Amino acid sequence: MGLDYGLWSSLPSFLREGWGAFWFSFGCAGLAVYLLAELNNTNVLLRVSARTLSAAMALLLAVSVPCHQAQGPGCVLMVCSLLSFFPLFTTYQLASPMHTFVAYLLLSAASLVFPKLLWLVPIYLHIQGYFRALSFRCFLASIMATVLPYWFYGGVAVLTGTLDGFVSHVMTVVNVSGYEGLSLDGRDVLMFIFVVLTFILGSVDFYVNQYLDKTRVRIIYNALIIHGIALIVVILLQPQYFWTFLPILLVDTAVLFGHFFTLTHTRFSHISCIVWALLAVVVVAAQYLCNEHLGFVLF
């Protein structure tokens, strides 16, 4: 997969190919669904007792057929991002260097298999500022946590004589390659449109009805929207990493759509959910029927 995917290629081949990749991605998907339920319980993202957020996550993962095979580190990044949300959301109006350190450490550790994940560090800092939790000590903790995995990786590289590989790994973070002539399958474009429309539907409904939620919950949902918009922009600018960033975007989308599906009871919402279900069927069918020659070329 090249240098862009860091240490991912160093993982055993049975985790990246064939049935091993399927079960590995299945395990990551199951863990993500469970973690989203725990995230809901910890932060009371829904004002009613429901498991809709986890159900929405399971449905979105089921629709994303290429996510069923761990052909890239997207499933790992999804789990690590979800784990980082726990300490990150804990910092709401609490300038805690400890929780800040853990959140950024999880993000940085995940970047070892995909260095460009560090592009999200400024988004995390912005979210902490939005939480009113970004003190000078927290900022130092975020820098230390981001550097720590690379400190150990660099030490191992020096001891094993692979320092050139370490330098190349770090340089991929700032190497923004273009996508001239990049061919995207029709299923990729269709999947992206489907997820973005779901994200927009959940976001608009939240902003219309956010007055019904508590202040802390509103702030967290706004943070997820900021995080999701950043991922959409990154995918548009670097579509070659579509299936790497998409699983992370599914987390934000699942929370927003689950909120819409659970708490909105209007005729429009009922019709929207029926249309969404039909679109999901179309997207799944298209991913199985779309052949490799059907694609879109970006210039």
Find out whether 235 and 242 touch, Cβ atoms under 8 Å: yes
Q: How many CB atoms lie within 10 A of CB 90?
A: 18
pLDDT average, residue stretch 97-125: 95
* Lowest mean per-residue pLDDT among 192-201, 229-238, 265-274: 265-274
Whether pLDDT at 99 is above 90? yes
pLDDT for the residue numbered 292: 44
pLDDT for the residue numbered 70: 59
pLDDT in tens, 274-293: 899 899 888 888 877 764 43
pLDDT for the residue numbered 263: 85
Tell me the HSE value of 76 on the side-chain side, using a 13 A CA sphere: 23
DSSP string, the chain: --GGGGGGGGS-GGGTSHHHHHHHHHHHHHHHHHHHHHHHHHHT-SSS---HHHHHHHHHHHH-GGGGS-SSTHHHHHHHHHHHHHHHHHTTT---HHHHHHHHHHHHHHTTS-GGGGGGHHHHHHHHHHTT---HHHHHHHHHHHHHHHHHHHHHHHHHT-HHHHHHHHHTTT-----TTEEEEHHHHHHHHHHHHHHHHHHHHHHHHGGGS-HHHHHHHHHHHHHHHHHHHHHHH-GGGHHHHHHHHHHHHHHHHHHHHHH--SHHHHHHHHHHHHHHHHHHHHHHH--TT-EEEE-
pLDDT for the residue numbered 168: 86
pLDDT average, residue stretch 258-267: 86
The reported pTM is 0.90
How wide is the angle at C-alpha 71 spanned by C-alphas 102 and 118, nearest 5°?
Answer: 30
pLDDT for the residue numbered 182: 53
pLDDT for the residue numbered 2: 58
Whether pLDDT at 297 is above 60? no
DSSP string, 113-145: S-GGGGGGHHHHHHHHHHTT---HHHHHHHHHH
pLDDT in tens, 178-222: 554 455 677 788 889 999 999 999 999 999 988 888 999 999 999
Torsion of CA 16, 19, 20, 25, to 10 degrees: 70
Name the percent of the chain lying above pLDDT 90. Answer: 51
pLDDT band, very low/low/confident/very high, at 30 (cuts 50, 70, 90): very high
pLDDT for the residue numbered 290: 63
pLDDT band, very low/low/confident/very high, at 160 (cuts 50, 70, 90): confident
pLDDT average, residue stretch 23-33: 89
Whether pLDDT at 158 is above 70? yes
| CA 222 to chain CA centroid, nearest Å | 16
* Lowest mean per-residue pLDDT among 143-147, 252-256, 272-276: 272-276
pLDDT for the residue numbered 299: 29
Whether pLDDT at 67 is above 90? no
Q: How many CB atoms lie within 10 A of CB 265?
A: 7
